[in-house]
């Protein structure tokens, strides 16, 4: 049990990577707030944790809505009286070349990743700073926090920017015992990725198989997708790390797609 007595809030945890981290944290003994835009999936994920004997609550939260974020984070504190870990994970993708990209689509992607990370961080720090235990903030970056791919400009720009926010939180948070790190996964087969396989095939004029082999996995060392378990294990490790030695870092988990 690496997270006993910890309270963790994970955004975008109704499905995909966030849901896997929520389950992993609960298995390690944490009380887990499963936050998502979708009430239905947040409740489903929370109930699955409860059914497995864990401790969880569902929080409906659009991370781009300042009021919803403040109220959602406050409800977690009211329930368990503390907040130790924030995983700012909610994210979306949009596939388009830059010259055809609508401003509204640019803004939406940047807002979910960046405004969402800022708003949830600010709300969580309020409680972490007020306690004498500090806390840890984990951002869900991507290999696209390190390098670009075509057709994903707002995503790539926002994921790079998260590294800057992470380092800023590490600098300011240290005095309050708050650490901050960025997880940078390669491709994981979640609904977010399943959706973009046909979209990329269409835009690039190649088959879906070629998108997988020649775009998504080409630069990995073993032509393998990163798994939910890979990312969850890293998220547990970062949350449970015992000191401020590991802060302001980006950790890439991508089967060697990106080496730093």
Q: Which residues bind ligand NAD (CB under 6 A)?
A: 11-12, 14-18, 36-38, 41, 61-64, 89-92, 112, 116, 140, 142, 185, 187-188, 190-193
Q: Report how far residue 23's alpha carbon sits from residue 207's, in angstroms, rounded to the nearest whole number.
A: 35
Output 46 or 64, the one with its CB closest to ligand NAD.
64
Per-residue CA distances from 249 to 64, 103, 171, 172, 173 (Å): 25, 31, 11, 14, 14
Q: Report how far residue 116's alpha carbon sits from residue 28's, in angstroms, rounded to the nearest whole number.
A: 26
Output 3 or 58, the one with its CB closest to ligand NAD.
58
Output 1 or 221, the one with its CB closest to ligand NAD.
221
> H helices within 28-134, ranges in order?
39-51, 66-80, 103-110, 116-130
Report, in Å, the least distance between residue 248 CB and ligand NAD.
Answer: 19
Output 83 or 182, the one with its CB closest to ligand NAD.
182
Report, in Å, the least distance between residue 14 CB and ligand NAD.
Answer: 4
Give SS3 for 233: helix
Is 155 considered catalytic here? yes
For residue 73, give both structure tokens: 């984070």
Q: Report how far residue 58's alpha carbon sits from residue 9's, in angstroms, rounded to the nearest whole number.
A: 10
Output 128 or 184, the one with its CB closest to ligand NAD.
184
Placement of tokens 């409740």 in the chain: 43
Q: Are 34 and 55 in contact (CB under 8 A)?
A: no
> H helices within 28-95, ranges in order?
39-51, 66-80
Report, in Å, the least distance between residue 96 CB and ligand NAD.
Answer: 16
The residues carrying an active-site annotation are 155
């Amino acid at each position: 049990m690496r997270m006993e007595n910890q309270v963790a809030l994970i955004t975008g945890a109704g499905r995909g990577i966030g849901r896997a981290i929520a389950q992993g944290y609960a298995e390690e003994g944490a009380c887990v707030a499963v936050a998502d835009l979708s009430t239905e999936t947040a409740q489903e994920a929370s109930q699955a944790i409860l059914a497995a004997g864990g401790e969880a609550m569902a929080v409906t939260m659009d991370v781009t809505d300042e009021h919803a974020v403040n109220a959602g984070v406050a409800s977690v504190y009211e329930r368990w009286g503390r907040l130790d870990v924030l995983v700012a994970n909610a994210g979306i993708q949009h596939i388009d070349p830059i010259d055809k990209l609508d401003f509204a689509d640019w803004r939406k992607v940047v807002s979910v990743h960046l405004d969402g990370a800022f708003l949830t961080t600010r709300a969580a720090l309020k409680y972490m700073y007020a306690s004498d235990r500090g806390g840890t903030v984990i951002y869900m970056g991507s290999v696209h926090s390190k390098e670009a791919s075509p057709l994903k400009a707002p995503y790539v720009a926002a994921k790079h920017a998260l590294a800057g926010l992470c380092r800023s939180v590490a600098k300011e948070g240290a005095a309050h015992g708050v650490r901050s790190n960025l997880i940078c996964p390669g491709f994981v087969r979640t609904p977010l990725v399943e959706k973009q396989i046909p979209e990329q095939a269409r835009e690039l004029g190649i088959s879906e198989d070629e998108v997988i082999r020649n775009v998504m996995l080409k630069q990995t060392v073993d032509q393998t997708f990163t798994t939910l378990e890979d990312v969850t294990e890293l998220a547990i490790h970062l949350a449970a790390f015992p000191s401020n030695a590991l802060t302001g870092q980006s950790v890439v988990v991508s089967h060697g797609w990106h080496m730093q």
